[in-house]
Structure 1
Amino acid sequence: MRRVSVDIGGTFTDCFVVWDERTLLQKSLTTHQNLAIGFNEALETACKELQLTTTELLSGVDSVRYATTLGTNALIERKGPRVGLLTTAGFRSSVPLARAKGYGVGLDWKSMLDIPNAERPDAIVPIPLIREVNERIDFEGDVLLTLNEDRVRSSLRELIDHGAETIVVCLANSVVNPAHELRIREIFLEEYPGHLLGAIPMLLSHQVSGRKGEYTRATSTIMDGFLHSVMYHGLGTLELHLRDDGYDKPMLVIHNSGGMAQLNSTDALQTVHSGPVAGIAASEALANTTGLGNVVATDMGGTSFDIGIVVEGGVKHYDFEPVIERWMVSVPMVHLVTLGAGGGSICSYDSVFKTVAVGPESAGSDPGPACYDRGGLLPTVTDSDLLLGYLDPENYAGGKIALNRRRSKRAVEDELCDDLDLDVTETAKLIKRTVDSNMANGIATELRVRGFEPADFTFLAYGGNGPLHGCGIASALGVSRVLCPPHAPIFSAVGAGDMNQMHIHEANTWIVLFDPTNKYFMTDFTEFNEKVAELEARGRADLERQGIDGSLVKHRLELDMRYGNQRVQTAVQARGNRITSQKDVLDLISAFDQRYAERFGEGSQATATGVRVNTVRVLSWVETPGVPFADLTPLEQGTTPEPVATRECHFVGVDGGVPTSIFDDAALTPGTDITGPAVIETEATTYLVEPGWRYQAVDGRAVWMTRIAD
């Protein structure tokens, strides 16, 4: 296997290279102005270790897989084209009104407590760039009012005259019957051929989202249109760089649905949060191959702390109306909770609670934390870690980044010490205790609202700062064991290398499995099976277009089901992809009852009120070999190497400085057994073993950290 996987985060770009039997991990600072620069820097370092040129490496790999923050950055910075919207007459205000939720959606929890003072996000489509067209299709797909083509032509002309650079079309019920949206595109190409307007893109909502709900379908398409040119030029430029260096295969882009596809089969919206989702995919693969059972995956990088859940034998957790930045959209995305608690999170004084507030603002990679000495003046979590002695100023990131302790001390003193009436060390301890508690609370909340207990899960700590804060988070969470998985500093990039090429297609439907009024179970399966076959055909065609043999494509059927007229929908994985008998119907209802009970508690099922299917979803994929994971069982009797140095560190709950043994990356050798306090410094991360904890290295560069019994 020869493969390159890249995960570009807000602070660091992670690169994972598999070359036959060798695996290499590299990190470089993210270069937001041109993401290819940071990628090339990491790749060149890997090439030196392999004693290959970049051309030799890229011409020899089977794939390059890429998870990017281009879309996320574009949304934050509002860097994108002017987007115009065409919608059904009478629906002009749907997007501006935002279901009356525009003030609250996407806010952090503190801002949620003060909704009256919240501000709406700047509109991606301003009201002057919204136009109505006369047409109407009902909920069954029947045409009630034919499309007024003259009105379409005049509306298009008005949008172009107002400077629209991308046009989005979202018509009522177009997911049931897309005829009018398709005709609008034909008219657009008749009036404005690509050679006249430089091929202004037009996006149709039924092709972006297969779900009913005009508002979320509109926002999904608007965001896709806003990100389209940024993604096209950014990823297109990267692909050209790869071509120049000898890579002649299509670049694969990671999707937030948990799969990947070639660039020409990727919607811009599918790339948002793709890096953290790759980490969840890696956690799922690790759990399945090593028998870890339930896993809570946590990725602490430089900018954020991402939480995902992998339940043994369960359906993967998806958000079907996720919130991206400040907008609710309707695309299936692997469920992810993001907290503003990374190494670069800025620390400030909370005047209400008289303590430290951490994040959500981040110093990013430029200027970065104060200790980076790049112009940052505000204290961050990394600055507190440096002041507490956990980081070596001369050996951070393998010596690539020299840290300035004096800058950290000045930033903490200027911004926090006077208000808190604490010295620098105690303030740094407070920062660490606060950030660890915030992350532990985030994990506990995410698990308990879904009916789980943290003690029933294996806690995975990865990302550049995960191994550094793993013990602290676990202590605050009340769990006694942490696993830093193989290649923990770049584990999300590892996940990108293990993903399958996959597409998800879904369609709204209204299928009654059980009608309580007439005591009727579904007997005509034709409509249901035809809908599934249609979605399978679309998924197969997507993959065949990318050069995949259609006979290798696998499909999985999932259904969004609900009782009676409940608003709550629950995703259920069907045991088969067709319904051929009433026994299949009863099995599906039984699976729904079981899944509902797992989510809301036994006895909460309401089968007697009726059972309906609202969405049919088909996952189509082709399996590709992934990087194998080694056994994670630690040796009963390990060995403790000699430390390479000793320095004073400060720990939460311990008075004064503590002499702490320092080890290098030789401590990652399987069988290494170290009792804390200790610091293990590697090129890509730092493992902090707090007092009362034990460090055990196992195969595959994985590490267990376990609380020692009192």
Structure 2
Amino acid sequence: MTTRINIDAGGTFTDCFTLHDGEAVSAKTPTTEHDMSECFFQGIRKCAAQLDVGLEDLISDVDSIRYSTTTAMNRLIERKGPKLGLLTTAGVQDYPQIGRGPRWADGLTDSEQRNISDAKKPEYLVPDARTNGIRERVDSEGTVLRPLDEDHAREQIRDLVDRGARAIVVNLLWSYEYPDHEQRIRELVREEYPPSYLGSIPVFLSSEVMPTKQEYERTNTTLLDAYLSELMQEHIADIKERLEAFGYEGDVQMLHNTGGMAESYKTTAVETFNGGPVAGLKGGEFLCDVLDYEKAVVTDMGGTSFDIGILTGGGVQSYEFEPIIDRWRVSGTMIESKSIGAGGGSIASVNDELGGRLEVGPESAGADPGPACYNRGGTEPTVTDADVVLGFIDPEKFYAGNQSLSVDRAEEAIETHVADPAGMSVTEAARNIRRIADGNMGNTVRKETMLRGHDPREFILYSFGGAGPLHAASFSSYLDIDTVVTTPYSPVFCAMGSATMDTLHIYEQSRSMFLRDSGEEPTYDVDYDEFNGVVDDLKAKGRRDIESEGYDPDDITYELELDMRFGGQIHVARVGSPRLEVHDESDVEAICEHFIEQYTERFSSYSVTPEHGITVENFALKARVDSPDIDLPTEPVEESSPEPARNGEREILWAEADQYRSTAVFDYDDLRPGMAIDGPAVVDADYTTTAVPAGWTYRLDTYRNGILEQTAGTDAGSTTQAPTGETQ
């Protein structure tokens, strides 16, 4: 018997997906921001009830618990971390405040960047008063030019503590080449403030957190890790303590933005950023393999945000070029995804400064008080309120029937904040809110695919999240995508995706090496021992960490990725290396040729200049242990009428219709694989509703995935579903 519990704590809802002895169940529960452990266990409790297993019996029988959370990042936005102190090389202690040229724009939306007059640099995590310089100097090759002045270092450490620092970050120039000075400073801190003291000071070294080039990004990464670490440790410790009380003896595995996971004590706080959306991408990758799709756009529309990821070749192919967390540019290997403020809780408003233009998002009503229709005190109109007014959501069946929605509250909020200021009716305002939300999502997906050189018409669209299937057919029209896939686990898909992820650690080391000299004729020249030495050091770290998590070292697989560039170019491109080590010229040639091939595919042949030489700037080694495959339950496909699943009709105002139309409603639980529904129709499930416009069909496959396919450009809403499933 195998049991896996997978939990994704989002800004509005916390999702739980549990596999138990071949059975898969899922649950949603409101996120309890005041106590995140509460929603964690509420989700498990709901799954245990569906499995008819006691909570203690389920938890004590668990093989693994996988968790992604926005807790740390929420606290970052609120600036509720500890006071930090920063030690860097004397003479350059101002560079964190100066930053890079475009720092003022980091983390801002496109519209915010265009409003230059109001754009401001964020207040840095460490003020000048708690940033001190240390007398030492190392050059770019790791040669000590000035030894560490230990007496001066002790003075600077004491000064930071006297100024209120409760954690110290150390980032010295070129420390990734020569970490000894940083390590000695940590020893000095411990000598001054021993762990046995109540006032002991945690120390974070950039050479350990992120041993890579670019001191600004390296500093930000280390600072964020220090800023969020204490909160994450307390949060996970609380959860683990409660799990132990139920008999669970293992650790909690945290989802990483690298596409893998690791036990909590082997996870940095920065690695948890965006872990949920990345889990959704990995789940989409799993489905591509199961359903045999090569290209897919993965979308997740929840209560707060709309997340997008691109899969080509059946999987994830790209990382964030310059990753940003909140307002800080950081270093690290993060899978590329895009998030915008477009969810069910996105707030609609009329912008008087822009001539009364209607805007939707990015602000969200969250889960508490939530949309006005929740009747919990929220007064501002949201996308969910518009969907309720238009009839897409049954107010008595929302959230598996556990929460009744108020249509009157939704209408009042839309009338007060949108309809009256804009001079339109409530229904017209609701239609415009939905239309703008769909347009924001569709155009964002279109931009993300086309700017990467892809034709969206060649892709299928995965639609996940509680609100995703309700809007998928509408926003896919902006992309000319005619196939949308939903799953039985769409409302909890990020949690489901985590069940497919492997244990994975990524180790990076900056090191510049020439692989190919400049010249028309290729000449490959590299120090084999130096190249292999870097790889061996990274492999040793991976073996140490994964063995400490209880895995057999023989089960570890290693993959090498290299940040490479052509001579004369500034930016690097990361490619998977076809060789883990190099032993002769043919190995080096294979790496260079693979780089040229990958670079050509991404950026075109016009920018490929191997005659200028090829260099490696950074090594990234993946140490992976594969997780057992998951088997999703299946049912036989038999063509039959969907009539047994029909559950009455609902008045819905479709996009192209001029009035509410009586629309067939189907119950997802009663549908069987092979049944096909012609639109317009809606399919109600416990935690989501799928809208099937006119000109679309909806059918279930053997995995009970809902497949939406566009069949014709019928006038949406102009026909009514007949009892036989045909239009009349």
Question: Offset at 1:482?
Answer: 0.6
Contact 1:562-1:570 at 8 Å conserved across structures: yes
Query: What is the match of residue 138 of structure 1?
Result: 139
Contact 1:667-1:680 at 8 Å conserved across structures: no
Q: Deviations over 1:18-59 (max 9, x none)?
A: 111211010000001111111211211111122221110001
SS in 1 for 2:478: helix
Q: Which of 362, 367, 384 is residue 382 of structure 1 equivalent to? A: 384
Question: Does 273-282 or 678-687 show the bigger shift?
Answer: 678-687
SS in 1 for 2:655: coil
Query: What is the match of residue 128 of structure 1?
Result: 129
* Equivalent AA in structure 2 for residue 409 of structure 1: E
Contact 2:642-2:671 at 8 Å conserved across structures: no
> Runs of 5+ in structure 2 lacking a partner?
714-728
SS in 2 for 1:413: helix
* Equivalent AA in structure 1 for residue 416 of structure 2: D
Q: Deviations over 1:493-527 (max 9, x none)?
A: 01111111110001111111111159631253111
Alpha-carbon distance in 2 for matches of 1:486, 1:542: 36
* Equivalent AA in structure 1 for residue 206 of structure 2: S
Question: Offset at 1:622?
Answer: 0.4
Q: Cα 1:361–1:633, aligned 2, differ >3 Å: closer, same or farther?
A: farther
Question: Offset at 1:136?
Answer: 0.8
Question: Offset at 1:702?
Answer: 1.0
Q: Which of 507, 510, 519 is residue 505 of structure 1 equivalent to? A: 507
* Equivalent AA in structure 1 for residue 162 of structure 2: D
Contact 1:560-1:571 at 8 Å conserved across structures: yes
Query: What is the match of residue 374 of structure 2?
Result: 372
Q: Deviations over 1:217-252 (max 9, x none)?
A: 000001111001110101111111111112111111
Question: Offset at 1:691?
Answer: 2.0
Alpha-carbon distance in 2 for matches of 1:584, 1:633: 49
Q: Which of 597, 600, 607 is residue 597 of structure 1 equivalent to? A: 600
Q: Cα 1:88–1:647, aligned 2, differ >3 Å: closer, same or farther?
A: same
Alpha-carbon distance in 2 for matches of 1:53, 1:630: 23
Contact 1:322-1:330 at 8 Å conserved across structures: yes
Q: Deviations over 1:271-290 (max 9, x none)?
A: 11111110011111111232
* Equivalent AA in structure 2 for residue 32 of structure 1: E
Q: Cα 1:27–1:217, aligned 2, differ >3 Å: closer, same or farther?
A: same
* Equivalent AA in structure 1 for residue 233 of structure 2: Y
Alpha-carbon distance in 2 for matches of 1:106, 1:79: 19
* Equivalent AA in structure 2 for residue 123 of structure 1: Y
Alpha-carbon distance in 2 for matches of 1:89, 1:152: 10
1:271 maps to 2:286: no
Question: Does 693-702 or 640-649 show the bigger shift?
Answer: 640-649
Q: TM-score, normalised by structure 1?
A: 0.97
Q: Which of 417, 420, 432 is residue 418 of structure 1 equivalent to? A: 420
* Equivalent AA in structure 1 for residue 255 of structure 2: I
Contact 1:216-1:321 at 8 Å conserved across structures: no
Alignment of 1:396-475 (within 5 A): 396-475=398-477
Contact 2:297-2:310 at 8 Å conserved across structures: yes
Alpha-carbon distance in 2 for matches of 1:462, 1:524: 48
Alignment of 1:544-623 (within 5 A): 544-623=547-626
Query: What is the match of residue 29 of structure 1?
Result: 30
Q: Which of 620, 624, 628 is residue 627 of structure 2 equivalent to? A: 624
* Equivalent AA in structure 1 for residue 183 of structure 2: L
Q: Cα 1:375–1:136, aligned 2, differ >3 Å: closer, same or farther?
A: same
Alignment of 1:272-287 (within 5 A): 272-287=273-288
* Equivalent AA in structure 2 for residue 252 of structure 1: Q
Query: What is the match of residue 168 of structure 1?
Result: 169
Query: What is the match of residue 60 of structure 1?
Result: 61
Contact 1:14-1:493 at 8 Å conserved across structures: yes
Q: Cα 1:171–1:146, aligned 2, differ >3 Å: closer, same or farther?
A: same
Q: Deviations over 1:538-586 (max 9, x none)?
A: 1111101111111110000111111102122111111221122212222
Query: What is the match of residue 722 of structure 2?
Result: none
Could you tell me the percent identity over the aligned residues? 39
Contact 1:640-1:674 at 8 Å conserved across structures: no
Q: Cα 1:523–1:169, aligned 2, differ >3 Å: closer, same or farther?
A: closer
Question: Does 415-424 or 168-177 show the bigger shift?
Answer: 415-424
Contact 2:579-2:591 at 8 Å conserved across structures: no
Query: What is the match of residue 709 of structure 2?
Result: 706
Query: What is the match of residue 686 of structure 2?
Result: 683
* Equivalent AA in structure 1 for residue 170 of structure 2: V
SS in 1 for 2:93: coil
Query: What is the match of residue 260 of structure 1?
Result: 261
Contact 1:290-1:629 at 8 Å conserved across structures: no
Question: Offset at 1:345?
Answer: 0.9
Q: Cα 1:486–1:573, aligned 2, differ >3 Å: closer, same or farther?
A: farther
Question: Offset at 1:115?
Answer: 2.1
* Equivalent AA in structure 2 for residue 11 of structure 1: T
Alpha-carbon distance in 2 for matches of 1:147, 1:640: 80
Alpha-carbon distance in 2 for matches of 1:532, 1:689: 52
Query: What is the match of residue 493 of structure 1?
Result: 495
Question: Offset at 1:632?
Answer: 11
Alpha-carbon distance in 1 for matches of 2:461, 2:40: 30
Query: What is the match of residue 349 of structure 2?
Result: 348
SS in 1 for 2:100: helix
Query: What is the match of residue 534 of structure 1?
Result: 537
Contact 1:136-1:172 at 8 Å conserved across structures: yes
Alpha-carbon distance in 1 for matches of 2:175, 2:284: 38
Contact 2:285-2:315 at 8 Å conserved across structures: no
Alpha-carbon distance in 1 for matches of 2:640, 2:338: 38
Question: Offset at 1:593?
Answer: 1.2
Q: Which of 642, 647, 650 is residue 644 of structure 1 equivalent to? A: 647
Q: Deviations over 1:307-328 (max 9, x none)?
A: 1111116763112530111110
Query: What is the match of residue 49 of structure 2?
Result: 48
Question: Does 636-645 or 24-33 show the bigger shift?
Answer: 636-645
Q: Cα 1:676–1:233, aligned 2, differ >3 Å: closer, same or farther?
A: same
Alpha-carbon distance in 1 for matches of 2:154, 2:194: 13
Q: Identify which of structures 1 and 2 has the higher relative contact order when contacts are C-alpha pairs closer than 8 Å and 6+ apart.
A: 1
Question: Offset at 1:638?
Answer: 6.1
**Aligned residue pair count:** 710
1:294 maps to 2:295: yes
1:392 maps to 2:394: yes
Contact 2:293-2:314 at 8 Å conserved across structures: no
Alpha-carbon distance in 2 for matches of 1:627, 1:132: 52
Alpha-carbon distance in 1 for matches of 2:692, 2:526: 61
Question: Offset at 1:409?
Answer: 0.8
Q: Cα 1:315–1:7, aligned 2, differ >3 Å: closer, same or farther?
A: closer
* Equivalent AA in structure 2 for residue 481 of structure 1: T
* Equivalent AA in structure 1 for residue 301 of structure 2: M
Q: TM-score, normalised by structure 2?
A: 0.95
Q: Which of 646, 649, 658 is residue 661 of structure 2 equivalent to? A: 658
Alignment of 1:100-139 (within 5 A): 100-139=101-140
CA RMSD of aligned residues (A): 1.7
> Runs of 5+ in structure 1 lacking a partner?
none
Question: Offset at 1:633?
Answer: 11
Query: What is the match of residue 724 of structure 2?
Result: none
Question: Offset at 1:607?
Answer: 1.0
Contact 2:513-2:526 at 8 Å conserved across structures: no
Alpha-carbon distance in 2 for matches of 1:591, 1:636: 48
Contact 1:645-1:662 at 8 Å conserved across structures: yes
